[in-house]
């Protein structure tokens, strides 16, 4: 049966690949992006998210079977917290009524292995509290401290998003409504986002030091798209709140073999 998917970031990279693979498999895709998609929208603003969700719902005749949120930016600027966190969470939330009309609703987002990197706990907390003005203010302070501190904005956005997925996935709005909500955390994906950085030997060495990928090295967007497609397929009936590190082994390398003992008796 044909399912209707809303894919953000459908104009480039992982989102474009996901949209293409879904269409090749006969699914209906409504792409959302700043440009080059069915619905042109700016997910960095509250109004842009509301308008995009309304346009996507209308294009889907009111019933959306799955949402895959890929739109994001990696720039060390305050806007990154708006696009990567609020542009995902508020957009998904606005689509809950349309998802509720599906027989098998699903949602998946793109976090990052950067969720494991140093970040700003205050920015993460403000995002998780749903306070975008405060998150932007904190991001502004962080960016003003210089280039090294500015880099904290992206990992903060992805840490907050990964935590939001775990927290929201088990609530009445998601699990209670029968909607699996999960995320994917890529390593270094070969898309326009990383092209400039990887073009120089120095840039690539810097990326590889932070993101070690012993399995097959830098990954094509298909490696993420196929997982997003499974997470939002009818087959996924019981996975909730997971952020899957699909990253060439970066997470296992960085965090090691014991991520379970945190709650063992001391
Ligand atoms: P990309 O730059 O190729 O595509 C991102 C898309 O998001 C673009 O089409 C862009 O126009 C859209 N977008 C940006 N701001 C927007 C806004 N305000 N409103 C609507 N659309 C907007 O990048 P890529 O690599 O495909 O990234 C997709 C997701 O994967 C992002 O969330 C990124 O943070 C994440 N990611 C990427 C990694 C990589 O190595 N490329 C690694 C880990 C995570």
| 61 falls within a domain | yes
CATH number at residue 39: 3.40.50.720
Confidence label for 62 from pLDDT (cuts 50, 70 and 90): very high
The residue range of the domain holding 11 is 4-188+219-246
Say what the pLDDT of residue 156 is: 98
Percent of the chain's residues with pLDDT above 70: 100
> For atom 23 of ligand 1, which residue has the closest CA?
193
> For atom 24 of ligand 1, which residue has the closest CA?
13
Which of 145, 150, 228, 238 lies closest to 185, judged by CA?
228
Say what the pLDDT of residue 263 is: 86
Q: What is the DSSP string of 206-241?
A: HHHHHS--TTTSSB-HHHHHHHHHHHTSTT--S--S
**What is d(CA 33, CA 25) in angstroms, rounded to the nearest whole number?**
22
Q: Could you report the per-residue pLDDT of 81-121, keeping only the tens digit for each?
A: 999 999 999 999 999 999 999 999 999 999 999 999 999 99
225 lines ligand 1 (CB under 6 A): no
| 265 falls within a domain | no
| 114 falls within a domain | yes
**How many angstroms separate the alpha carbon of residue 261 from the centre of ligand 1?**
34
Structural domain total, the chain: 1
Say what the pLDDT of residue 8 is: 98
**What is d(CA 100, CA 94) in angstroms, rounded to the nearest whole number?**
11
Q: Would you say residue 12 has pLDDT above 90?
A: yes
Average of pLDDT values for 55-80? 98
Q: Could you report the per-residue pLDDT of 145-202, keeping only the tens digit for each?
A: 999 999 999 999 999 999 999 999 999 999 999 999 999 999 999 999 999 999 999 9
Q: Would you say residue 266 has pLDDT above 90?
A: no
Say what the pLDDT of residue 186 is: 98
Average of pLDDT values for 204-229? 97
User: Do 224 and 96 touch, CB atoms closer than 8 A?
Assistant: no
| 28 falls within a domain | yes
Average of pLDDT values for 229-234? 98
| 213 falls within a domain | no
Q: Which atom of ligand 1 is nearest to the CA of 15?
A: 26
Average of pLDDT values for 243-255? 97
Q: Could you report the per-residue pLDDT of 21-46, keeping only the tens digit for each?
A: 999 999 999 999 999 999 999 999 99
| 194 falls within a domain | no
186 lines ligand 1 (CB under 6 A): yes
Q: Would you say residue 262 has pLDDT above 90?
A: no
**What is d(CA 91, CA 85) in angstroms, rounded to the nearest whole number?**
10
| 239 falls within a domain | yes
| 122 falls within a domain | yes
| Catalytic-residue membership of 5 | no
């Amino acid at each position: 049966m044909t399912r209707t998917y809303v894919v953000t970031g459908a104009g480039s990279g992982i989102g474009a690949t996901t949209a293409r693979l879904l269409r090749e498999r006969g699914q209906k895709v409504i792409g959302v992006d700043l440009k080059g998609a069915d619905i042109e929208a700016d997910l960095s603003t509250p109004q842009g998210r509301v308008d995009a969700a309304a346009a996507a719902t209308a294009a889907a005749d009111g019933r959306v079977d799955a949402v895959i949120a890929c739109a994001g930016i990696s720039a060390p600027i305050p806007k990154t917290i708006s696009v990567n966190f609020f542009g995902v969470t508020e957009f998904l939330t606005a689509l809950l009524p349309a998802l509720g009309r599906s027989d098998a609703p699903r949602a998946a987002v793109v976090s990052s292995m950067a969720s494991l990197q140093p970040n700003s706990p205050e920015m993460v907390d403000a995002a998780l509290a749903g306070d975008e003005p405060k998150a932007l203010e904190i991001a502004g302070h962080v960016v003003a401290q210089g280039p090294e501190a500015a880099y904290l904005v992206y990992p903060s956005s992805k840490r907050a998003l990964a935590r939001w997925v775990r927290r929201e996935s088990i609530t009445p709005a998601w699990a209670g409504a029968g909607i699996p909500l999960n995320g994917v955390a890529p390593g270094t994906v070969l898309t326009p986002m990383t092209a400039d950085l990887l073009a120089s030997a120095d840039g690539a060495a810097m990326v590889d030091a932070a993101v070690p990928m012993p399995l097959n090295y830098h990954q094509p967007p298909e490696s993420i798209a196929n997982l997003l497609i499974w997470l939002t397929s009818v087959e996924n009936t019981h996975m909730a709140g997971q952020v899957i590190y699909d990253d060439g082994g970066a997470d296992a390398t960085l965090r090691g073999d014991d991520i379970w003992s945190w709650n063992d008796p001391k």
